[in-house]
Chains A and B, each alone.
Chain A
Amino acid sequence: GQQVMQIPQYQHVQEGEDFTTYCNSSTTLSNIQWYKQRPGGHPVFLIQLVKSGEVKKQKRLTFQFGEAKKNSSLHITATQTTDVGTYFCAGREDSGGSNYKLTFGKGTLLTVNP
């Protein structure tokens, strides 16, 4: 079945440093979504990418979808303590089936030292 790998598993940075997490799927994706989970909280939707090579920005966060639609990345510029949490990617396989199931990566836990 479809697998979604995410690296790194953990990342500790000093406040102000940049951060990137990478997501790779074993199959071509129709779309990819990114979620953030604060410690003790629940996953919250950040963004969705649909088109090959798509790049979207949300303030200091930049999301990319690979040309082959099998990988994605999230880059945070100049991290802040409010960025602490686990970032998950979740993809839907481009198999022509229904769009109701996502496969989640294991997430990258980001900690920020003030």
Chain B
Amino acid sequence: NAGVTQTPKFRILKIGQSMTLQCTQDMNHNYMYWYRQDPGMGLKLIYYSVGAGITDKGEVPNGYNVSRSTTEDFPLRLELAAPSQTSVYFCASKGTGNQPQHFGDGTRLSIL
């Protein structure tokens, strides 16, 4: 009963490096989301997807890209890492209607 799985759990990057945060879900959910959480700032939506092949920007998309080639996977790409992107990143998915969002364990990313 895996739910939403995120990898890696922790990562340290140097400024200017790139990386992909992986997210996969096994609940056959159409909706998937990427949030970042900074201390005391709640959850800010980066990108979301309503189904395979469809993605859209959230509140804070600059510096990130996503793709959704399958229902299960929703990777988040950082192209040129900046210190301002140091944060905890959560992936979430949900089913149809007013279903709640299910979150992964998060990726703690530091950019130095």
Contacts and interface: CB of A to CB of B under 8 A. Distances in A.
Given A99-B97, A100-B48, A101-B48, A42 B42 contact: no
Interface in B29-86: 31, 35, 40-43, 45, 48, 50, 58
A9 to B, nearest CB: 7
B98 A50 contact: yes
B48 to A, nearest CB: 7
Contacts of A66: none
Nearest to B51: A100
B48 A43 contact: no
Contacts of B42: 6, 88, 104-107
Interface residues of A, number: 24
B57 to A, nearest CB: 11
Nearest to A92: B98
Contacts of B101: 33, 43, 45, 90, 102
Given A42-B90, A42-B105, A43-B90, A99 B98 contact: yes
A68 interface: no
A52 interface: no
Given A9-B40, A42-B90, A43-B90, A101 B45 contact: yes
A22 B60 CA distance: 25
A31 interface: yes
Interface in A81-114: 88, 90, 92, 98-102, 104-107
Nearest to A107: B42
A45 B105 contact: no
A92 B31 CA distance: 15
A48 B100 contact: yes
A41 B9 CA distance: 12
Interface in B76-112: 90, 92, 94, 97-98, 100-106
Interface of B: 31, 35, 40-43, 45, 48, 50, 58, 90, 92, 94, 97-98, 100-106
